[in-house]
Structure 1
């Protein structure tokens, strides 16, 4: 009852209370729990153990007596931590009783009281990476350790490869590093070695964001909104304007639709990240949807290059061949199924790969290549297709076996699609090499957010037929406004 009550106190601790007051509450809870757990220790001739799990704390108690037959005690485990201790060696040092006991406790919400701060530079952000654990030697006369104690602490938050991990222990009012060191670490857990017993935790230090990051966030917000506006205008133009008979806009429409939804979802996620992040499942779902939408954009870019290749290959009979090429419905199935299969396979292979701190694909264990791998393959195939397209164009131009107007239109479309490939593809490749360099980050941000602007300018504004329809629309709009004004007067 007392342990459950103390757990509720820890969970309901107000963030408005000062850290010093919270620390004093934490000290009382730790002392009360250690006294309670010590009552579980009973005399034994060989060895015995007691364990239980509550909502706020998990407890493992192991006791050895003078006639213990074990070579070493088994590892004491809780859900997120474990301990290896030479309890038999400690018992041998207790000459009178030849017995000893260890109590191992893992607190699930103690970080609410014992804040992750310790005596290092204030220029870093400190994050609790493990549950708070305690290890004591209750009812043991000689508590001197014969060997360092190793604690294995599972990471309860996403591991930042650039961060600095510290094994720390609690000393009344703050966390201290002395006496503990990191023995081994990876993205999932860290092993700490300590020369004394106390209350321990794992804290990560990461660089504090610079003031320029706020300017970068503002630039990102403005650029993405501008890009979304032009994506919308491009979609309306593709859907409503009249195009030449040989023009197939299916790939372009779906490309814009995929990227529009992806950028919109990404923008909303960034703006409401503090609300979304606590819900890990929702965050993982969002990252999976973003993976699908961005990947489908690249698939549609590849489909557009394939259609252009077919058009160039059959330049002299493009209108007849167009009907023999894949139908719009079949193209839609290919465009979205390929991306869906990649995401589904990625989720099955590594279901924990989705849901980073930014609700995107996690960078650890190389899972980012579930996105960048297909992107690089598509970009390589596109490059091969463009080389073939240019070779075919040169060959057709020499043979002069196509209409001049059709030839000119195809050449223009080739260079427009090639430019689209460079802008849409190379921006993501650039993202791999930013390495926290502000200049490259800004360039990546602008290129990535202005894809809609580029598509609208190249395919709509620079198209003579579309410009004529724009003029006609604005004339009608102006005439309608004038007539309404005259009627009012």
Structure 2
């Protein structure tokens, strides 16, 4: 609070004045912003704690200058909303004599010509009502995607693969995205319980940032592995053992994503914990996720162009078996499809802008990443299909005996 107490004291006979300042940390839960009169199309949000200022034992309480209050925002600021500095008048919030001097995403300075009980209220357009069918579709799609992520992981772990196949990146893509989609699903289902706990909400959004980002890092690692495979087609096995061990890849895959999250927290400590327990959009903090994603997608595109050019020139010179050439081509095709499946839904998400059709398309494509990975690497792999048949035959014969 900033006020001219010396000027007030000069206007009193005893040349003295005292000010009392109180902050009611939980009063905003009682004095709801609904008491602030607005139309039905608007929604009000309390953006500050409730404070009160008085001039006790002061005869002449007339203010010589307006008093200024700096309110720290207790909730995420919506750039499309309008802020009002208000005071409590018996039974309602009113704005008479109060105005906003300046504001940013973190705090607002209010100026008032009188003392009272004050607060900061944000007024925004009421969001469209949730669509039950869309929520049901989201729930079903995410659950189906999680089931196929699990099946893909079991297949990678339990099936026997050719010696030249390196599934480290694919396994970790599945682990990262499985945990991310599962955490996001549980968060949205219990959002009403989690969001009031701001610390928990911020921690969850940080974990989601880390898990989704690590999925993209692992996608880039797989593209790098494929590039090395094409570049050194004849000696890829020895190359992998020397340079790209599983432990080294795991360090890269998770430390890079963790580093981005740590730097993001250091630059904008309050950037996590939006109303959906995701990254906040103010201060451009959403680019802590979109920036690395765009960079990885761009580098992957450059790598795939290099892979195609290198493969064409290498295979014309290479005196290799037809099966090896065919296997490499299939691997390139599958990784390219994976790049499209994992990357394009997020690009599509940039352009939804309230379009119901694009929103549904984004929801389906993004939730079915596990399904696509299972189909591309498991169902379309002849060796894996044979092992599936063997497993189901054993299962059927065992069931028949009982």
TM-score by length of 2: 0.91
- 2:28 equivalent among 111, 136, 157: 111
- 2:71 equivalent among 133, 149, 153: 153
Q: Is the 8 A contact 1:261 1:293 kept in 2?
A: yes
Q: Distance in 2 between matches of 1:385 and 1:186?
A: 41
Superposed, 1:265-276 pairs within 5 Å as 265-276=183-194
Count of residues paired in the alignment: 401
Classify 1:379/1:140 alpha carbon distance in 2 versus 1 (closer, same or farther; 3 Å).
Answer: same
Match of 1:238? 156
**2:109 partner SS:** strand
Report 1 or 2 for greater relative contact order, CA contacts < 8 Å, sequence distance ≥ 6: 2
Q: Distance in 1 between matches of 2:221 and 2:49?
A: 50
- 2:117 equivalent among 186, 195, 199: 199
1:361: how far off?
A: 2.5
Q: Distance in 1 between matches of 2:393 and 2:150?
A: 22
Q: Distance in 1 between matches of 2:241 and 2:25?
A: 64
- 1:310 equivalent among 220, 228, 232: 228
Decide which moves more: 380-389 or 215-224.
215-224
**1:209 partner SS:** coil
1:165 aligns with 2:99: no
- Please say which structure displays the higher CA radius of gyration: 1
Match of 1:186? 104
Q: Distance in 2 between matches of 1:234 and 1:453?
A: 8
1:129: how far off?
A: 1.0
Moved over 6 A (4+): none
Q: Distance in 1 between matches of 2:355 and 2:204?
A: 27
1:85: how far off?
A: 2.6
Q: Distance in 1 between matches of 2:187 and 2:199?
A: 14
Decide which moves more: 313-322 or 379-388.
313-322
Decide which moves more: 136-145 or 190-199.
136-145
**1:353 partner SS:** coil
Match of 1:299? 217
Q: Distance in 2 between matches of 1:180 and 1:213?
A: 39
Q: Distance in 2 between matches of 1:119 and 1:278?
A: 25
Match of 1:422? 340
1:136 aligns with 2:92: no
Q: For structure 1, which runs of at least 5 residues remain unmatched after alignment?
A: 1-81, 485-489
Match of 1:85? 3
Q: Distance in 1 between matches of 2:238 and 2:30?
A: 75
Match of 1:123? 41
Q: Distance in 1 between matches of 2:354 and 2:78?
A: 14
Match of 2:389? 471
**Over aligned residues, Cα RMSD in angstroms?**
2.4
Match of 2:298? 380
Q: Distance in 2 between matches of 1:214 and 1:147?
A: 53
1:131: how far off?
A: 1.4
**1:309 partner SS:** helix
Superposed, 1:365-404 pairs within 5 Å as 365-399=283-317, 401-404=319-322
Decide which moves more: 230-239 or 172-181.
172-181
Please list the CA deviations of residues 21-57 of structure 1 after superposition, one character each: whole Å capped at 9, or x if unmatched.
xxxxxxxxxxxxxxxxxxxxxxxxxxxxxxxxxxxxx
Q: Distance in 2 between matches of 1:196 and 1:321?
A: 76
Q: Distance in 1 between matches of 2:267 and 2:278?
A: 17
- 1:263 equivalent among 175, 181, 189: 181
Superposed, 1:314-329 pairs within 5 Å as 314-329=232-247
1:310: how far off?
A: 1.0
TM-score by length of 1: 0.76
Classify 1:268/1:470 alpha carbon distance in 2 versus 1 (closer, same or farther; 3 Å).
Answer: same
Q: Is the 8 A contact 1:396 1:402 kept in 2?
A: no
**1:196 partner SS:** coil
1:350 aligns with 2:261: no
1:218: how far off?
A: 2.4
Decide which moves more: 162-171 or 386-395.
162-171
Q: Distance in 2 between matches of 1:86 and 1:144?
A: 11
1:177: how far off?
A: 2.4
Q: Distance in 2 between matches of 1:276 and 1:139?
A: 45
Match of 2:281? 363
Q: Distance in 2 between matches of 1:322 and 1:113?
A: 63
Q: For structure 2, which runs of at least 5 residues remain unmatched after alignment?
A: none
Q: Is the 8 A contact 1:163 1:206 kept in 2?
A: yes
Q: Distance in 1 between matches of 2:246 and 2:342?
A: 23
- 1:209 equivalent among 127, 130, 137: 127
